[in-house]
Structure 1
Amino acid sequence: MDTDRPLLEATGVRKVYRTGSVAVTALAGLDLTVHAGEMVGVMGPSGSGKTTLLNCLSGLDDIDGGRVLIDGHDLFAMSDAARTRHRAHSMGFVFQAFNLIPVFSAVENVELPLLLVGTRPAEARGRALAMLDRVGLAHRVGHRPSEMSGGEQQRVTIARALAGRPAIVWADEPTGNLDSTMAGQVMDLLCELNRDEGQTIVLVTHDGAIGARVPRLIRMRDGRLAGDVRQKAAAPRVGTDVPLG
């Protein structure tokens, strides 16, 4: 990776949703640069384009104009298959709804994406166990999602996102389904991963308390950037060593 080049470069990104004769512009020529090791929060009112931005910058959705480079690779110059492979190898995702496979244990959920990209089973299992230990779930590796709390399930999704050693993690409302205590502890973990391990994270949230904790906060309105500020991230919550449960 070229350390002088931004990890993410988005230029003039447009996204238009069409229903019959009605066209709604979700992203209106948006520019954004993110460097490796940054933690960026994205906030804005409902309908401002936050989730659309994440989906377009990660290549989950197509765009109607502009360009998105991830570590110098133009996502939308790739074929669909190549973009899918690039996403599997270079990106991790954390969603509000967890998206865990209910019949799989925690370790099976974490190792599955590794197996799908061709990682040897023994290596995949080792990396999955190591990441679950890293997020404080070494004692829960054999449990299924229904046997875990919401906070524990979200930590499994974070372990899954990180097990592939991605260049960037996209997090869409990662605390949206959690109460305030669990949300704070999940945010503690994400901040720790960014601070101590240099993990690049782009996080969408509607929660001002979560937005206050990121070092860089982007505000969106009507598909455009309405603000981009560096801020002093809030200190970790008291009692961050208390397990989620």
Structure 2
Amino acid sequence: MDTMNTDRALLVATGVRKVYRTGSVEVTALLDLDLLVRHGEMVGVMGPSGSGKTTLLNCLSGLDDIDGGRVVVDGHDLFAMSDAARTEHRAHSMGFVFQAFNLIPVFSAVENVELPLLLVGSQPREARRTALAMLDRVGLGHRVEHRPSEMSGGEQQRVTIARALAGRPAIVWADEPTGNLDSAMADQVMDLLVELNRDEGQTIVLVTHDSAIGARVPRLIRMHDGRLVGDVRQTVTTPAADLDVTQG
């Protein structure tokens, strides 16, 4: 783990271990894993299928329990908290973007974005105002009343990004966010994520199997058999001058 100054540490994971059990069979998915992520970082996680990438994201976000170690996010020790407290912390401090868009089909874009805000106690008028602003921020100000079935894959993923960001989370977890998109739409979604990190300082941890996506993050971690086997800083060049995200 990076043992440098941790003053700006947002995530500190130490000795994290995760074991899956089926009957008498045990499979160790994460083995004594250490990781530090600072405020404002954009970190990519790559590795072959079965290397533990998604398990890592689920454990670091508290979606899955761990079998050993410690995970502190935004000053909170996740696994020293009750399930209810961890769920509340996740709702207020974390945003999620998944490969499957997980949008509610009968809701419009703005309703999908405002729902998590309403669930954590925002007033309806404020939730609606915030949702509209976030949809405009991701280039969908003209699509706020459209349902998911009326939108392209790239547009649906931008709705999920707006939903993830609407609560101003400390960290956004993105699990294969371009996995269901063609290359042009994937580039547009990555342009947006890179811009949000670069211009607004949004901390993002992104899991991907795509080397082209991995090449676009300033810090790239590689995993193999539940271990971190690489952690490098990259010089990232901005492609195609911030594509117009209102297209596609």
Match of 2:210 in 1: 207
CA deviation profile, 1:59-82 (whole Å, cap 9, x unmatched): 000000000001221000000000
Partner deviation per Cα, 1:84-109 (whole Å, 9 max, x = no partner): 00000000000000000000000000
In 1: Cα distance, 2:70 partner to 2:33 partner: 10
Query: In 2, distance between residues paired with 1:116 and 1:242?
Result: 29
The corresponding residue for 2:240 is: 237
Matched, 1:88 2:91: yes
Count residues in correspondence. Answer: 243
Give the corresponding residue for 1:147.
150
Counterpart position of 1:44: 47
CA contact (8 A) 1:214 1:234 kept: no
1:101 to 72, 96, 104: 104
Looking at structure 2, the residues matched to 121 and 145 of structure 1 have their Cα atoms a distance apart, in angstroms, of: 22
Residue 77 of structure 2 corresponds to which residue in structure 1? 74
Q: Name the residue aligned to 2:136.
A: 133
Counterpart CA distance in 1 for 2:245 and 2:69 is 45
Structure 2, gaps ≥5 residues long: 1-5
Work out the CA distance in 1 between the residues paired with 2:239 and 2:158: 17
For residues 193 and 239 of structure 1, do their structure 2 counterparts lie closer, same or farther at Cα, with a shift above 3 Å needed?
Answer: closer
1:5 is displaced (CA, Å) by 3.8
Partner secondary structure for residue 69 of structure 2: strand
Q: Which residue identity does 1:212 align to in structure 2?
A: A
The alpha carbon displacement at 1:243 in A equals 2.7
Superposition deviation, residue 238 in structure 1: 5.0
Aligned position for 1:14? 17
What one-letter code is carried by the residue in structure 2 that aligns with 1:24?
V
Q: Is the 8 A contact 1:212 1:234 kept in 2?
A: no
Kindly indicate whether residue 224 of structure 2 is the aligned counterpart of residue 221 of structure 1. yes
TM-score by length of 1: 0.97
1:56 lines up with 2:62 in the alignment: no
Alignment partner of 1:11: what SS? strand
What's the RMSD between the two structures over aligned residues?
1.0
In 1, Cα distance between equivalents of 2:141 and 2:30: 41
Find the partner of 2:122 among 119, 135, 141. 119
How far apart are the structure 1 equivalents of 2:223 and 2:237?
Answer: 21
Q: Distance in 2 between matches of 1:55 and 1:173?
A: 13
Provide the C-alpha distance between the structure 2 equivalents of 1:7 and 1:49, rounded to a whole number of angstroms: 21
Distance 1:71 1:242, change over 3 A: closer
Whole-Å separation in 2 of the counterparts to 1:239 and 1:228: 27
Partner SS, residue 7 of structure 1:
strand
Q: Does the aligned pair in 1 maintain the 2:192–2:245 contact within 8 Å? A: no
Fraction of identical pairs, as percent: 86
Amino acid at match of 1:87: R
> For the Cα contact (< 8 Å) 2:139–2:245, is it kept in 1?
no
Q: Distance in 2 between matches of 1:239 and 1:123?
A: 30
Distance, in Å, in 2 between the alignment partners of 1:88 and 1:220 is 28
**Structure 1 alignment gaps of length 5 or more:** none
Q: Distance in 1 between matches of 2:35 and 2:71?
A: 9
The letter of the residue matching 1:178 is L
Partner of 1:26: 29
Q: Kindly indicate whether the alpha-carbon contact (under 8 Å) linking 1:182 and 1:244 is maintained by their aligned counterparts in 2.
A: no
TM-score (norm 2): 0.96
Separation of aligned partners in 1, 2:98 and 2:184: 18
Aligned equivalents of 1:61, 1:114: Cα separation in 2 = 23
1:235 is paired with a residue whose SS is: coil
